[in-house]
Structure 1
Amino acid sequence: MSEKTKKQDRRTRYTKQTIKDTFLELLKQKSFTKITVTEICKNAEINRGTFYLHYYDIHDVLSDIFNDMTQDMLTTVDHLFCLNQKSCSYPFCQKIQMESQYRALFLDDAIAPILLEKIAENTKEGYVTWLMSHSLLTFEQAESVFYFQMNGCLSINRLMLRNHCNDWKQIQTTIDKFIKAGLESFLIHDQREENASDNFCSKISPTVTASSTLR
């Protein structure tokens, strides 16, 4: 790669980062639906041609920011199934608390649902597959557990940010215990074996099973 190309790449990265940073700053002041390309260009001190050289529209900027945030989301799944670890909460929850530049995304009513689906794209398959393989849950049940945790994580963070609550560690500990207890209730191997045995017996001797139930 030539020196000229390297400089162009650095300039491109710098310009795109400036646009994204400007967008996030504006989002702290107004809703996503109120932000315009004109405002971004004015605050970033660039012309519209420069903006459209790098992004198609504001939604394209938002998509790029999502990619920045979720590039490491695959590690979330490993962290979720943490029955032998001290912490079971989403690293994404910690990201919201620690990286203040992204907080406005979670508080915006138009962006939050999109962000949730973006996270789901990266994590749902692994989560549901693992949970089904370690429990007797159906796909629909495992998927419901997944979305329950995802929406719960988002809602808790939105509530804490809006109320300016700084006691994240205590809240996290409480949620960790809740998640861990919930997962463990599905992953008790003895119970799984007992259920499997009952199902087998019912197949080979349905009359006995019915009689036992009546008694």
Structure 2
Amino acid sequence: MISTVRRFTLTQSRNKKTETKRPLSVDTRNHIKETLLLMLKKRPFREIRITVLCREAHIARGTFYLYYNTIDDLLEEIINDSLHLIDSMTPKEKQGSLKKLQCMLSQTKDDELPKDRSLFPPCHKYLELEDYRFLVKDLDVSPIIVQKIYQHESPKIVPVLMKELHLNQDEAELLFKFIVTGSSAVNRDLLELKENEWYRLQKRILQFILRGLNCDKWS
């Protein structure tokens, strides 16, 4: 029979291992994600193989599979991280408010836009993410980002479109998908421009969309 002191010592030892493993686990995940992001700056996503990724990250394949089943799972986590970051850039009371966005755009000069950009929708705000924005240039990654943004924002925006424009759910979802997809496609081209210039063009695009939706007449 193990003595009480011996049992306590074993428990302490297990707890220390658990405490040590947790930050190492987080560090390893982050290291794998950072490695893939660095690789994506040099080559398309579909050309990257797990074997090469592991070599670049200096980890064994078995280590990769401790955290991810496929490289697509890894990419999805990276995109989710980027969207969580965008969420943190927007106060909760302003999220999904198209009318507040309309007011801000009409009252803000072009050179002042960077100060009031917290109201910009995620597909526009993605250009501000220095660590992630280049992903929209990858033809395989970009549609996944667009779909994720649509899924993330749809519960907030679709009910508003249904109420204010008297649309059924299918119509509102289709309209919102059109807005997100079109805006994201244009934003890919804006990456080549200077920051002030793409803020100015984003403002024009958003004003065009919001006027078409008659946001100034919304309740």
Give the TM bin, normalised by the shorter chain: 0.7 to 0.9
What residue in structure 2 maps to residue 195 of structure 1?
none
Mapped to 2, the partners of 1:80 and 1:22 lie a distance apart of: 37
Decide which of 132, 135, 142 is 1:102's aligned counterpart: 132
Shift in alpha-carbon separation, 1:83–1:57, aligned structure 2, 3 A: closer
User: 1:28 and 2:41 equivalent?
Assistant: yes
Name structure 1 gaps, 5 residues minimum: 190-215
Q: Which runs of 5+ in 2 are unaligned?
A: 1-13, 106-118
Aligned match of 1:57: 70
CA-to-partner distance for each residue in 1:50-109, whole Å, 9 max, x for gaps? 111111120110111122122339958524342563046314422x22222212321111
The Cα shift of 1:42 comes to 1.4
- In the TM superposition, 1:145-164 aligns within 5 A as 145-161=175-191, 163-164=192-193
Q: Deviations over 1:27-56 (max 9, x none)?
A: 111111100112211111111111111111
1:82 aligned onto 2:100: yes
Amino acid corresponding to residue 70 of structure 2 in structure 1: D
Distance 2:159 2:102 in 1: 19
Task: Give the equivalent residue in structure 2 for 1:6.
Answer: 19
Q: Note closer, same or farther for the CA distance 1:137–1:77 as it changes in structure 2 (3 Å cut).
A: farther
Q: Is the 2:122–2:149 contact (alpha carbons within 8 Å) kept by the matching residues of 1?
A: no
The residue correspondences of 1:1-215 to structure 2 (distance < 5 A) are 2-71=15-84, 72=87, 77-82=95-100, 85-87=103-105, 89-94=120-125, 96-161=126-191, 163-166=192-195, 167-184=197-214, 187=217
Change (3 A) 1:175 1:8: same
Q: Percent identity over the alignment?
A: 32
Q: Is the 8 A contact 1:80 1:89 kept in 2?
A: no
Contact 2:123 2:184 (C-alpha < 8 Å) held by counterparts: no
C-alpha offsets along residues 120-159 of structure 1, whole Å, 9 cap, x if unaligned? 2222133111111122223333223211210122112111
Q: State the distance in 1 between where 2:39 and 2:30 align.
A: 14
Does the 8 A contact of 1:22 with 1:40 survive in 2? Answer: yes
Q: CA deviation at 1:3?
A: 4.2
Counting matched residue pairs gives 187
C-alpha distance in 1 between matches for 2:131 and 2:26:
18
Extract structure 1 runs of 4+ deviating beyond 4 A: 73-77, 185-189
Q: Note closer, same or farther for the CA distance 1:102–1:154 as it changes in structure 2 (3 Å cut).
A: same
Alpha-carbon spacing, 1:12–1:83, altered in 2? closer, same or farther (3 Å): closer
| Root mean square deviation of aligned Cα | 2.6
**Distance in 2 between residues matched to 1:37 and 1:83, nearest whole Å:** 42
**Structure 2 counterpart SS, 1:109:** coil
Query: Do the aligned partners of 1:128 and 1:143 also contact (CA within 8 Å) in 2?
Result: yes
